[in-house]
Structure 1
Amino acid sequence: MVRQLHGLPGLVAAVFLITTAITAAVLALAPAMDRAAAVIPPAGEVNVAELAGRVVAHYPGTEQIERGSSGGVIVYYSRDGQPGADLVNPLTGEGIAPYEPSAFFTWIKDLHRAFLLDDTGRAMAGMMAALMVLLCITGILMLARRTGGWAALLRPFAGSGNKRVHSELARFAVLGLLLSALTGSYMSAQRFGLLPETFETGPAFPAEVSGGQPAPVANLSALSEVDLSELRELVFPYPDDPRDVYSLTTSSGSGFVDQATGELLKYQPRSESSVFQQWVVSLHTGEGLWWLGLILGAAALTVPVLSVTGIGIWWRRRSSEHLPDNVTVSQADTIILVGSEGNATWGFARELHASLNKAGFRVHCSEMNALTGHYPQASMLFVLTSTYGDGDAPTSARRFMARLGDFRARETLKYAVLGFGDSQFPNFCQFALDVDAALARKGLTRLHGIELINRCSASQFSQWGDTIGELIGAPLSLTYDPLPPPPVKLELVERADYGLAVQAPTSILRFKAAEQGGRRLKFLPRAPQTLPSFEAGDLLGVMPPHGQAARFYSLASSVTDGVLEICVRKQPGGLCSGYLHQLRPGDHIDGFVRPNPGFRPATGNTPVILIGAGAGIGPLTGFIRKNTGRHPMYLYWGGRSSQSDFLYQPELGRYLEDQRLTGLNTAFSRSDECAYVQDKLRQDQVAVRQMVEKGAQILVCGGRGMAVAVKQVIEDILEPLRTDVETLRAEGRYLEDVY
């Protein structure tokens, strides 16, 4: 419900919100520009009498002196019968520059307040402000839910892409946007009579005026008691009229000053409601608070990006999860629940959904996190889920087990679980196995025993569909075949070889997009292909010869580096690793990029602890290379020999020098020390524990055996903090990329 309240209004009003935000950001510059152009004496240095005396000396025809909200002093005067206005220096009374409101800022203000549509536009702008309040509140709730609670809102975010950018910007800007939206809504409600508006009429004209000979304005006692910082406006009496008075308005009230005696007459303090109303205006516009204006302007500039990334998130979710003929929970006789990390499982779910619909079933399909307490008409439940990392739940299924505790199933409900994974991992489809066992413990009856799909096998899926079709008496033709992204031809441009002396041959391979083939004119160079978009930590799928399934390697570079870099250890009997190690500069391969958003370092100043061994250093080095903000980043890495397989040694030395890498701790198993990376972590346990207390994120990359040993050491380190690895994992603070 919160997601719908947040998403749909934002989509509908995106253009208006972007217009409002951009104009707000431009208007936020005005107070700072006014402040920069003005001369601002320190408080207590100049009083109003001194100011008026200096101004009159240079402007004998002074009619009014005004102090703007940003501190600038403006004199309105008449000279040779012509009116004028100048910005003046309050220390000397001399003019700085002619004063004239900016036509550009006036137009921008009208666009911001009313979309250039008068009262109709003002009403629309008020609705946009109220809508922004809703978006901010629902956005905060969603951020808290995503991070695991209010206390975790300041911790690093996991993931990448639109969702990561949207969340990070929202966290930065939400308070500023909420303040602007609340104050804008308040002002709009006053404008249209929904809230009372305070009007200060000021005191009545004084009956007792001395009428004596006017004294020099610099000698008037009432004005000498008012500091310049409190002045709002001083209106001079009409010339040659001894019965007229000075009208004085300050930040605390207004009154009149006798031009002969200097006595303050008929003073009226400002009401509390007027003060509150002025504060609302200042908090919305930054007038009088130029620094706040810049903060609010920076927050407003995030709205266009939030709108674009929000639309991207919505579109991806819609294209992944939207299914035609998806009936409601109360109408469905068949339920499909999907657990997916990168949306691949949704393709199989769509195919199953379409086939069941074609067979006459009323099907409801949703993510596993959306498990409800009861399905009133359902007799079949299908759970299609992948496994994330080392047997963990994927993103769309992380709340499934908790929700299952409150689930009440009909006696006739039968279920079948279909797992998706890669059999090269020891915990192949472990989460699917856990779900199957949990449903059985809940008392549900299996429609069919759990089956596990290896590497998105289309033939296995089709066979499973045939079996299910026989069980339900309705033939299912499941022909879904997920295709990888179009491959790109890559040319090896550089390689660095390590580890031969310690029987661990490992190579750093750098590729560029190969030149396009085909005929061309001799005098024209071949046009190179462009590299696909990728970040360090994403995966390169390499197609080995003889049509075998792709093998995946973690990327050690980002697309901005101009090369696609992987670190590969040659495995005994390894088909793809052996193929890659045979390559020489100039050779070509076919490959494609698969995003891996679940393995990314968090942004911000909280420490990041990188842990790896062997070729697992590849993506970790990529993260360090991108750390141009010099945020705290520590690397623990293990190899065999510092003389033979110290991967990336020159680069890491440079990163230490330029502080992209804060600290480096290495362990070599074939050295006099004979240490492993987990040993170094245990030696540094106090420092590691302190970093975790500060919100540090831990990323582990390398072999599964190393990852298991590291996890055990981290568990021991965390024990005094009354937390554990699973808690950090749930918070996005313990990420693994293991093989």
Structure 2
Amino acid sequence: MLRKFHSWSGLIATLLVVVLSVTGAVLSINPILDRAQAKVAGTSSISVAELTGKLASSYPGIEQIQRSPSGSIIVYFTENGKTGADLINPITGQPIGPYSTSPVMVWFKNLHRSYLLDTPGRVGAAISAFLMLLLTISGAFMLAKRLGSWRQILRPIQGTFRERLHCQVGRVAVLALLLSAITGLTMSAVTFELLPDYQSAEPVFPASVQGDIPASIGTLAALKAIPMNELRELVYPYKDDRNDVYSIITHQGSGFIDQSTGQLLSFQSINNKQKLYEFIYMLHTGEGLWWLGLLLGLGALTVPLMSWTGIQIWWRRKRSITTIKNNTAPRSADTIILVGSEGNSTWGFAKTLHDALNLAGYLVHTMSMNSFVNSALNSYPNVKQLFILTATYGDGDAPASASRFLTQLEQITEVPKFSFAVLGFGDRQFPEFCQYAKEVEATLTAKAWSQLLPLDTINRQSSQEFSRWGNTVGMAMGTDLSLVHIPTQPSCTTLALIERVNYGAKVKAPTAVLRFKLPDGSNTDLPTFEAGDLVGILAPGSKVARFYSLASESKDGILEICVRHHPRGLCSSFLYSLSVGDSIEAFIKPNPSFRPASGKAPIVLIGAGTGIGPLVGFIRHNKSHHPIHLYWGGRCPESDFLYERELNTYLKDKRLTALNAVFSRINERSYVQDKIVLDSSELRGLIGKGAQFLVCGGRDMASSVMLALDEVLKPLGMDVLTLKAQGRYREDVY
């Protein structure tokens, strides 16, 4: 619900809010310019009388003096029947230059305050400020939920580039946007008299004035008592009118001064309401606090960026909405599929399962998890099996379409006749990988519901893992079930193999490093990618792409991968059989969460077999000699020491700090996880320096590495989940 509110209110208010923020950013320049041209140093020791005495001879027709919140002194005068205004140096009393209000800034101010539409426009601006406040608050709550809690609000953000950019910018700008929206709304409320009038009472105009010959303004006692940095405005008496008075406004209040005696005839202090309003006005405009104006302006400039990324995220989510065909009525269905999804991607997998079961002769009804618990179990009299496909949102929370499932499930006391199976979708980068799916399974098991299959999980929407789960489901149901999930894929680029280096034949682990370029005569460019991103490759006769981690960057001019030949692997067999000059069809899938962190902290790279590919890419591009320690496991150094020559070169030129290669057919303790335990002391020292861990390779290897690192971390009172929560442990596991 919160996501829908945030999305739709953002879409509705985009144009108005963007105009409000851009104009606010432009207006934030005013206090900076004003401050730059003001001469404020030393003005605290100068009295109003001292400055006005200096101005008396230079401006005989002076009518008014104003001091801006940023300290600029402006003199308004009449000379030869014409009015003028000058900026004044308060120290010397000499003019800095003519003063005038920029018509461009006046136009922007009117656009900001009322969209150039007077009163209706002011109402629109107030509504826009209110929507900005709601968007900022709802966005902050969504981010906290995504990261797990408010205490985790500074944790690294995972997701696509647009999602990370949207959240990161919002996190930086949230305070500035809240301040702008709240103060703007308060000022609008005062304008429309929704809040009490803030203005102080006017000072009482003196009933009688001395009327004697005016004294020199520089000698007036009242003006001598007021320092220049307290002045706001001084209005001179009408010329040759001895009964007129000086009118003065300061930070403390306003009053009148006798022009002959220099005495303060009356004075009205500013009340607390006006002080509060002026403080709010200063916070909103930055006038008087130029640095705050700059921060607010920078914050406002983030709104167009967040609007654009927000629209792209919304459009991508809208396009991902899946339509379920042949959805059998609940009372007739023998199979129920429940979906828990935040961004709609899980619905695509549910549709694949739905269609496959339909093809196998089952009557299937697919719906959200919330819809299931909103009805009684007797609504599904013929159901024999229940499948729950659910993602996990944030730090182990329920996704949007399952937000009420567990709470309302507690109200169901009867035990159904059908059996269930739970499939969790998530990303192993998160500490609470598939945690919500685990909670669902535990709850159903505790309620004594019959289980068809134990919990299984899918990492990063892997079609291969989903197909494997489908085979398990088919065996449990006694039917042939083929789950071929084909996600939407971008257009492919044709690439030609220009070089291959073979390894591993002697140890029956045939592996090749393959390097591709655009074909000769191609009029396109390589797609943009970095080491650690994924390349999707379609083998001939296959509709499902296989993904391989990249060891190169697009700026290298080549696309490099490391592939091990699996005899029954369609894509690996195709790639391993390629000869120089052969071509492939490929596309890039960004993997921004698998990157070395910036900064001075050391990096520990861990892998086995072909998992070395992206790790070598990170080392290869370590031109700044960041401390990098590599742990890698193979079988035999004479046969499958991948990238051996290149790694030794990197050791010499300091791109690689330490190489720890172990081989399972040589030494007694020769797996990479064993070497990690042996190096516990050294690794704890690196962890103390803020080390980040990047792990790439098979799932079994990654699990063993995690257990080994837990042992290393135990004396420090930490574990791998702690590192994950800090963004210091990231995996690319297959």
TM-score range, shorter chain: 0.7 to 0.9
Once residues 279 and 592 of structure 1 are traced to their aligned partners in structure 2, the CA distance between those partners, rounded to angstroms, is 56
Once residues 737 and 373 of structure 1 are traced to their aligned partners in structure 2, the CA distance between those partners, rounded to angstroms, is 36
Instruction: Indicate conservation of the 8 Å contact 1:458/1:481, yes or no.
Output: no
Query: Deviation of residue 256 (structure 1)?
Result: 2.2
Instruction: Indicate conservation of the 8 Å contact 1:419/1:433, yes or no.
Output: no
Q: Does 1:100 align with 2:100?
A: yes
| Partner amino acid, structure 1, of 2:449 | L
Instruction: Indicate conservation of the 8 Å contact 2:46/2:228, yes or no.
Output: yes
| Partner amino acid, structure 1, of 2:537 | V
Q: Does 1:455 align with 2:464?
A: yes
Map of 1:159-558 to 2, 5 A cutoff?
A: 159-207=159-207, 209-321=209-321, 323=323, 336-338=337-339, 345-350=346-351, 365-366=367-368, 375-376=375-376, 378-379=379-380, 380=383, 382-383=386-387, 385=389, 403=406, 407-409=410-412, 410-412=414-416, 414-417=418-421, 439-445=444-450, 455=464, 482=487, 484-492=489-497, 509-514=514-519, 526-532=521-527, 534-544=529-539, 550-557=545-552
Q: Does 1:143 align with 2:143?
A: yes
Instruction: Indicate conservation of the 8 Å contact 1:237/1:245, yes or no.
Output: yes
- Cα distance change, pair 347–577 in 1 and its aligned pair in 2 (3 A): closer
TM-score by length of 1: 0.79
Instruction: Indicate conservation of the 8 Å contact 2:322/2:344, yes or no.
Output: no
Q: Which residue is equivalent to 2:429?
A: none
Please give the per-residue CA displacement for 1:117-146, whole angstroms capped at 9, x wherever unaligned. Answer: 111111111011111111111111111111
Once residues 474 and 534 of structure 2 are traced to their aligned partners in structure 1, the CA distance between those partners, rounded to angstroms, is 30
Per the alignment, in what secondary structure is the counterpart of residue 44 of structure 1?
helix
Map of 1:510-659 to 2, 5 A cutoff?
A: 510-514=515-519, 526-532=521-527, 534-544=529-539, 550-557=545-552, 561=555, 563=557, 565-568=559-562, 570=564, 587-596=582-591, 599-600=594-595, 609-613=603-607, 615-620=610-615, 635-639=628-632, 645=644, 647=646
Once residues 634 and 404 of structure 1 are traced to their aligned partners in structure 2, the CA distance between those partners, rounded to angstroms, is 49
Once residues 25 and 404 of structure 1 are traced to their aligned partners in structure 2, the CA distance between those partners, rounded to angstroms, is 46
Query: Deviation of residue 107 (structure 1)?
Result: 1.0
Once residues 43 and 715 of structure 2 are traced to their aligned partners in structure 1, the CA distance between those partners, rounded to angstroms, is 53
Once residues 467 and 58 of structure 2 are traced to their aligned partners in structure 1, the CA distance between those partners, rounded to angstroms, is 89
Query: Deviation of residue 254 (structure 1)?
Result: 1.5
- Cα distance change, pair 137–104 in 1 and its aligned pair in 2 (3 A): same
Q: Which residue is equivalent to 1:660?
A: none
| Partner amino acid, structure 2, of 1:320 | S
Q: Which residue is equivalent to 1:725?
A: 720
- Cα distance change, pair 444–730 in 1 and its aligned pair in 2 (3 A): farther
Per the alignment, in what secondary structure is the counterpart of residue 198 of structure 2?
coil
Query: Deviation of residue 420 (structure 1)?
Result: 9.0
Per the alignment, in what secondary structure is the counterpart of residue 287 of structure 2?
coil
Query: Deviation of residue 548 (structure 1)?
Result: 9.7
Once residues 332 and 13 of structure 1 are traced to their aligned partners in structure 2, the CA distance between those partners, rounded to angstroms, is 44
Instruction: Indicate conservation of the 8 Å contact 1:568/1:577, yes or no.
Output: no
Query: Deviation of residue 251 (structure 1)?
Result: 1.4
Map of 1:699-710 to 2, 5 A cutoff?
A: 699-704=694-699, 706-710=701-705
Q: Which residue is equivalent to 1:521?
A: none
| Partner amino acid, structure 1, of 2:367 | C
Instruction: Indicate conservation of the 8 Å contact 2:183/2:281, yes or no.
Output: yes
Once residues 655 and 17 of structure 1 are traced to their aligned partners in structure 2, the CA distance between those partners, rounded to angstroms, is 51
Per the alignment, in what secondary structure is the counterpart of residue 215 of structure 1?
coil
Percent of residue pairs identical: 40
- Cα distance change, pair 176–342 in 1 and its aligned pair in 2 (3 A): closer
- Cα distance change, pair 460–176 in 1 and its aligned pair in 2 (3 A): closer
Instruction: Indicate conservation of the 8 Å contact 2:204/2:267, yes or no.
Output: no
Once residues 401 and 648 of structure 2 are traced to their aligned partners in structure 1, the CA distance between those partners, rounded to angstroms, is 39
Higher deviation after alignment, 487-496 or 8-17: 487-496
Query: Deviation of residue 292 (structure 1)?
Result: 0.8
Once residues 466 and 499 of structure 1 are traced to their aligned partners in structure 2, the CA distance between those partners, rounded to angstroms, is 35
CA RMSD between the two structures? 5.0
Query: Deviation of residue 98 (structure 1)?
Result: 1.6
Once residues 471 and 478 of structure 2 are traced to their aligned partners in structure 1, the CA distance between those partners, rounded to angstroms, is 10
Instruction: Indicate conservation of the 8 Å contact 1:345/1:386, yes or no.
Output: yes
Please give the per-residue CA displacement for 1:579-621, whole angstroms capped at 9, x wherever unaligned. Answer: 6577677553222233445545678x79684422355454356
Paired residues, what number? Answer: 700
Q: Which residue is equivalent to 2:430?
A: none
Once residues 131 and 167 of structure 1 are traced to their aligned partners in structure 2, the CA distance between those partners, rounded to angstroms, is 18
Once residues 420 and 248 of structure 1 are traced to their aligned partners in structure 2, the CA distance between those partners, rounded to angstroms, is 72
| Partner amino acid, structure 2, of 1:29 | I
Once residues 330 and 134 of structure 1 are traced to their aligned partners in structure 2, the CA distance between those partners, rounded to angstroms, is 39
- Cα distance change, pair 293–247 in 1 and its aligned pair in 2 (3 A): same
- Cα distance change, pair 719–244 in 1 and its aligned pair in 2 (3 A): farther
Unaligned runs of 5+ in 2: 427-432
Instruction: Indicate conservation of the 8 Å contact 1:349/1:384, yes or no.
Output: no
Instruction: Indicate conservation of the 8 Å contact 1:340/1:394, yes or no.
Output: no
Q: Which residue is equivalent to 1:123?
A: 123
Higher deviation after alignment, 588-597 or 355-364: 355-364
Once residues 480 and 505 of structure 1 are traced to their aligned partners in structure 2, the CA distance between those partners, rounded to angstroms, is 29
Please give the per-residue CA displacement for 1:697-724, whole angstroms capped at 9, x wherever unaligned. Answer: 6432234455334323432354356553
TM-score by length of 2: 0.79
Instruction: Indicate conservation of the 8 Å contact 2:44/2:227, yes or no.
Output: yes
Higher deviation after alignment, 253-262 or 67-76: 253-262
Please give the per-residue CA displacement for 1:129-177, whole angstroms capped at 9, x wherever unaligned. Answer: 1111111111111111111111111121122222211111110111110
Query: Deviation of residue 546 (structure 1)?
Result: 7.5
Once residues 279 and 47 of structure 2 are traced to their aligned partners in structure 1, the CA distance between those partners, rounded to angstroms, is 24
Per the alignment, in what secondary structure is the counterpart of residue 541 of structure 1?
strand
Query: Deviation of residue 510 (structure 1)?
Result: 4.7
Per the alignment, in what secondary structure is the counterpart of residue 455 of structure 1?
helix
Once residues 325 and 53 of structure 1 are traced to their aligned partners in structure 2, the CA distance between those partners, rounded to angstroms, is 88
Per the alignment, in what secondary structure is the counterpart of residue 320 of structure 2?
helix
Query: Deviation of residue 324 (structure 1)?
Result: 7.0
Once residues 649 and 228 of structure 1 are traced to their aligned partners in structure 2, the CA distance between those partners, rounded to angstroms, is 71
| Partner amino acid, structure 2, of 1:365 | M
Unaligned runs of 5+ in 1: 423-428, 516-525, 657-662
Please give the per-residue CA displacement for 1:26-47, whole angstroms capped at 9, x wherever unaligned. Answer: 1111211222222222452432
Once residues 644 and 479 of structure 1 are traced to their aligned partners in structure 2, the CA distance between those partners, rounded to angstroms, is 35
- Cα distance change, pair 627–262 in 1 and its aligned pair in 2 (3 A): farther
| Partner amino acid, structure 2, of 1:48 | V
Instruction: Indicate conservation of the 8 Å contact 2:463/2:485, yes or no.
Output: no
| Partner amino acid, structure 1, of 2:211 | G
- Cα distance change, pair 394–592 in 1 and its aligned pair in 2 (3 A): farther
